[in-house]
Structure 1
């Protein structure tokens, strides 16, 4: 599905992942993604599986939606009974192996974001030190993580 893309961001050998992450902002990342070119390349990357579980109540409360979880919640448009949200759990899994990537049952198109010029030969990329990775849908980030 061409609406999904998987990306890797690996720091230059002269830097490290922590420095790269400290310098990376959401704006910079989205600009890199927007400016990225797609090309044929051979990527060698370690196998990994990342699972995360997020307590949505805590996350949404921090964003100002705490009323949803109190007796003052107004959910009258979905039920005539007085309701409040008691639990929200978000689980995410990303797995990379010999067969490719699986994340929330979505497939992807590989591309690498770098400003390296290359000729007609496929570019060979070896992901051999800590890196950031993520999955995009159109121009929005669905998942982002780090491998150390």
Structure 2
């Protein structure tokens, strides 16, 4: 589906393929999933909202003006991070503030809290033309007839397509992405759990706690789209 039309004349093609299937360390119970309002940019929609009440890594980031939550994957150094803007912040403002330092500071500041989490189920599917981004990074010549491919072929070749298809699905069992480090912290016992209701646009990422690097980043504007 990524490539339409005949490949008869194609001699060099650049594709990016990534696949990940991650199971939550704490699986959501499907019986607790309910319809819930999601306040998108222009209107309010009914979405399937998952529910979980358990101990999770959590912090309120003053730099990002957001609640930040980490959902660990089972037997993995990866986590699914959710950055939920507070009333004083917009999702655009949050995106502008998401430097590597601010992300790392938020993750390093997390403590285990009793959290009452509501998170929408969603699936995104998008095809991305990588050529504009690669050109911005300085890879210009490879996309022209002046491309020097002498390192691996004597033919006059250049790249005229560079495509990536992204699929990300989040449900009660975990995350499927095409394109849990143990935390030694004391459990903070609260009389009331910390509420985390992702009912408005938020930023999410698949984050590697070992390398302190985001592997996959997205913005959820509308779970029904």
Please classify the TM superposition score into its range, dividing by the shorter chain length.
0.7 to 0.9
**Structure that is richer in helix per residue:** 1
Mapped contact 1:34–1:139 kept (Cα < 8 A): no
Name whichever of 81-90 and 137-146 sits farther off. 137-146
Q: How does 1:23-102 map onto structure 2 within 5 Å? A: 23-37=97-111, 41=115, 43-102=117-176
Unaligned runs of 5+ residues in structure 1 are: 111-116
Matched, 1:127 2:204: no
Unaligned runs of 5+ residues in structure 2 are: 1-74, 182-186
Mapped contact 1:69–1:86 kept (Cα < 8 A): yes
**Structure that is richer in strand per residue:** 2
Name whichever of 84-93 and 125-134 sits farther off. 125-134
Mapped contact 2:129–2:163 kept (Cα < 8 A): yes
Normalised TM-score (structure 2): 0.52
**Which runs of at least 4 in structure 1 moved beyond 6 Å after TM superposition?**
none
Larger Rg: 2
Aligned to 1:143: 216
* Residues 52-87 of structure 1, C-alpha deviations (whole Å, 9 max, x = no match): 222111211122111011122122222232321121
* Residues 20-66 of structure 1, C-alpha deviations (whole Å, 9 max, x = no match): 33333333123323444566755320111122222111211122111
Normalised TM-score (structure 1): 0.75
Q: 1:74 to 1:34 in 2, by over 3 A?
A: farther
Distance across 2 between alignment mates of 1:27 and 1:48: 28
Name whichever of 65-74 and 13-22 sits farther off. 13-22
Name whichever of 13-22 and 81-90 sits farther off. 13-22
Distance across 2 between alignment mates of 1:54 and 1:119: 45
Offset at residue 3 of structure 1 (A):
2.8
